Every structure is written in C-alpha cells, then in structure tokens.
C-alpha cells in the first residue's frame, strides 16, 4: 500500500517507523522543509516538500494526481487534519472526511452539533452575530474558532466588555475576517479537565481524564500550568459520548471540559493527541502510544492489538509546563530548589540552557520551554499538591544583560 503522511511533527516523537512497516508499504512524507529534513537517513521512503505559506491540500492535490494512488493519508498535527480530510474526499481514500473533520476544528460547529445532541455547552455566538443586548451575565470569552491551546483567547469581565472588544476589532477589519474567524462564549466556572484517548469504530481502546493545575489561559498569559491523571470513569464515558456525537468513529482525541457544580460542560475537542508530555503520560500508564496505535490501526484496517497492554500501571502521571513566550526572546535563568529536582516524583524534566534565547511564538513542546517535566505518584491528589508547591517555589528570570551585550 502507498501511504501519504502529512508530516508536521518531530519525527522521533511520532513512531512512524514503528507503526508502519516501511519495507512492506511505500511511504511518502510530505511536509515543510524543516520537518522533511528530520527524517532519518536510510529509511525506505519518498519525500515531497510543500510551501508552509500556501494551503497544503491545494499544493498536494495535483501532486497526488500525478504520483498516486494512495491507500491512506495520515495526519498527526492539528493543522493537517483538514487538508488530510480534503485529500481523502478528493481521491476516495478511507478515513476522516471534511464533514466530520470540521466538527474537530471549528469551535462553533462542534458546539452546535453537541447542543443539538443534548450535551451541555456554554452559550455562544459567532463574533459576526453578537448582539449588543447581553445574552448572559458575567465573564465572557472571545476566541478564534480554529486555534488550539488557548491561543488568541481573551477573557472579559462582562458580556458588554466583550461586545465592545468585538466591535472595535470589526471596525479595524473591513473585510470581515475577524467576525468570521472568532466566536464569543459564555464563561463557565469550574475546574478544567482534559480527556485523551483513541476510539476504534466507536469503541474506546484507551481513555484517560486529567485535571489541570492552573488553566491553559494562564499559560498564554505567562503562568505555569500542569495536569494530573485522575480516576474519573464517568467523565471519560461522557467525553466518548461527545466524540461520537461529533461523528468521531476511529480517531485520537484531546477534549477539554469544564466541571461545573451541575456536571461537565463541553469546552472544545481536537482530533489529535494532546501536546507536551501527554502522549508519554498515557504510554507510561497504559503502555499505549497514541500515535503508534492510531497509525497502525489505520494502515492495518483493524485495531492494532499488538500495541495494547493488558493492565495499566498502578501509578498516575502528570506534567508541568513553564511558558517561554512571555520573555520575548530573552534567555532566562531557571531556579529550582534542589530537593525538587531530587524528588522521587519527578520522572523527567527539561530545562532550557540559560544562554539560549527563548521562543517568541506559541509552543507546548518541552524543548521550547524554560522548564517542564513529567511527574508520578500512586496518589493523584498528592501530585496535584506537589505541582502547586512547585509553582510557588520555581522562579524564571530573564537574562536581559545578554540581550544588550
């Protein structure tokens, strides 16, 4: 079988060569030059480079017409989900198609679909449809319909403040792109959870709920965040119900929910793995690599049971992330108490070299952050407390003298 991989990830993190037998299948990796350059020398495959400034599907459709046919199109990055769906529809390739993919990319479409299915979602409107009269009281969110990780999200104290912001942005944007790309959403109080897993033909192969310590919006505004796995079967079942209602049958998913006083409310979902160390936390807990299981099952045409483990580990796992973008490229000095670094709960960590400039754009990748890590304990509540303590003790200080020297 010929397999087309839309490659926009670090090769070594994906397990392509584990999931797909490159001696049996003819694999073509298509991606931007920087990602294609990371493919190991000697791996039996072909490559094609696309221009990241141009639409992916538009570039690949004529190329596939000339170099196909392909039996599968694989996409593991959020920005390649829809291009892969378009290519499948164009060439009759099995897998997620645009009508399903839109529910995992467009925050308005996903909430409309779930609300129609009777699943609780925050009240919302497209930015272009917001009315001056308040439709709900209190805090209000304005956010892009197609971004992840709280990028571009703004929180306002009142609906009226959000309305004023939207009108200001629309006045600066006569072509209407802001009104079309953004939505306005009711802010619901409660802890935020993420649920990660893989469904095959609608049945969960693995699902795990984790509670945030902090919230993703904190990370975007320069504060550290973390999350910890917890036993939460009812929330996991609810998340699977959401994914099925959106049309998801065979896919990896990363769903976020708000645990209100009256139960869970849907926040958003993506048809991909969660970022940072989330894939590793599930692999340590269940012995399942989400990337590998998904890709192998896709290519095999059946659940790749050889990548499943019978029993989960007794430990629970969590992550912590310190953002780097707030330092605007300045190198930083990270100060961590020595006892924290020696603590048995700290499984692995990455600390940025103090002489290396920080990243200026959004990223959850550990190598882009000042400080991040993976933790474990048999008691998830103890991990929650450990992370809160860590956040109170670690300092990240810009080394501005190096930028001016």
Average pLDDT in the 209-218 region?
93
| Average pLDDT of the residues of the chain | 94
Question: Residues of the chain with pLDDT > 90: what percent?
Answer: 83
- At 174 the pLDDT is 77
Instruction: Give dist(CA 202, CA 239) in Å, integer.
Output: 12
Given a cut of 70, is residue 390 above it in pLDDT? Answer: yes
Peptide bond into 401 cis (omega under 30): no
Q: How confident is the model at residue 3 (pLDDT cuts 50, 70, 90)?
A: very high
Q: Using the 8-state DSSP alphabet, how is residue 175 labeled?
A: T
Which domains are seen in the chain, by residue range?
2-95 (3.40.50.20), 123-186 (3.30.1490), 192-404 (3.30.470.20)
Q: CA-to-CA distance for 327 and 323, rounded, in angstroms?
A: 9
pLDDT at 39 (0 to 100):
97
Which of 84-88, 214-218, 253-257, 382-386 is the least confident region? 214-218
Looking at the predicted structure, is the pLDDT value of residue 405 above 50? no
DSSP string, 293-309: HHHHHHHHTS--GGG--
Average pLDDT for 98-122? 97
**At 148, phi and psi to the nearest 5?**
-120, 170
- What are 364-384's pLDDT values in tens digits? 888 889 999 999 999 999 999
Please name the residues in contact with 228: beta carbons below 8 A apart, sequence gap of 6 or more: 210, 211, 213, 316, 317, 318, 375, 380, 383, 384, 387
Q: Is 353 exposed, middle or buried (0-12, 13-18, 19+ CB in 10 A)?
A: exposed
Residue 150: pLDDT band by 50, 70, 90 thresholds?
low
| 344 or 329: which leads in pLDDT | 344
What's phi and psi for 21, nearest 5 deg?
-75, 105
> Residues 180-192: what's their mean pLDDT?
95
pLDDT value at residue 67: 95
């Amino acid at each position: 079988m010929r397999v087309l991989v839309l490659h926009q990830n670090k090769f070594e993190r994906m397990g392509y060569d584990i999931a797909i037998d490159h001696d049996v299948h003819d694999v073509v990796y298509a991606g931007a030059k920087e990602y294609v350059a990371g493919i190991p020398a000697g791996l039996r495959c072909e490559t094609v480079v696309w221009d990241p400034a141009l639409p992916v599907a538009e570039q690949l459709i004529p190329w596939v017409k000339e170099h196909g046919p392909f039996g599968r199109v694989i996409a593991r990055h959020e920005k390649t989900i829809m291009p892969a769906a378009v290519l499948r529809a164009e060439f009759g390739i099995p897998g997620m198609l645009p009508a399903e993919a839109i529910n995992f990319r467009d925050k308005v479409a996903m909430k409309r679909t779930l609300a129609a299915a009777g699943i609780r979602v925050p009240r919302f409107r497209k930015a272009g449809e917001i009315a001056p009269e308040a439709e709900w009281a209190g805090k209000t969110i304005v956010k892009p319909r197609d971004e992840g990780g709280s990028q571009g999200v703004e929180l306002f104290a009142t609906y009226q403040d959000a309305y004023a912001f939207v009108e200001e942005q629309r006045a600066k944007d006569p072509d209407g792109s802001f009104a079309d790309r953004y939505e306005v959403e009711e802010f619901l109080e409660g802890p935020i959870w993420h649920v990660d897993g893989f469904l095959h033909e609608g049945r969960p192969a693995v699902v795990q709920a984790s509670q945030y310590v902090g919230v993703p919006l904190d990370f975007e505004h320069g504060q550290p965040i973390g999350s910890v796995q917890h036993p939460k079967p009812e929330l996991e079942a609810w998340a699977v119900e959401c994914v099925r209602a959106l049309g998801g049958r065979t896919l990896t998913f990363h769903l976020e929910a708000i645990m209100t006083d009256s139960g869970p409310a849907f926040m958003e979902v993506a048809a991909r793995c969660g970022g940072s160390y989330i894939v590793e936390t599930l692999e340590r807990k269940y012995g399942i690599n989400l990337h590998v299981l998904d890709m192998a099952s896709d290519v095999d045409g059946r659940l790749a049971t050889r990548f499943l483990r019978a029993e989960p580990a007794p430990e629970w796992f969590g992550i912590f992330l310190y953002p780097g973008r707030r330092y605007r490229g300045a190198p930083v000095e990270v100060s961590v108490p020595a006892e924290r670094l020696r603590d048995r709960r700290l499984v692995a960590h990455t600390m940025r070299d103090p002489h290396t400039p920080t990243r200026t754009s959004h990223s959850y990748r550990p190598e882009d952050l000042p400080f991040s890590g993976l933790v474990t304990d048999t008691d998830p509540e103890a991990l929650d407390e450990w992370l809160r303590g860590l956040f109170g003790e670690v300092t990240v200080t810009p080394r501005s003298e190096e930028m001016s020297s």
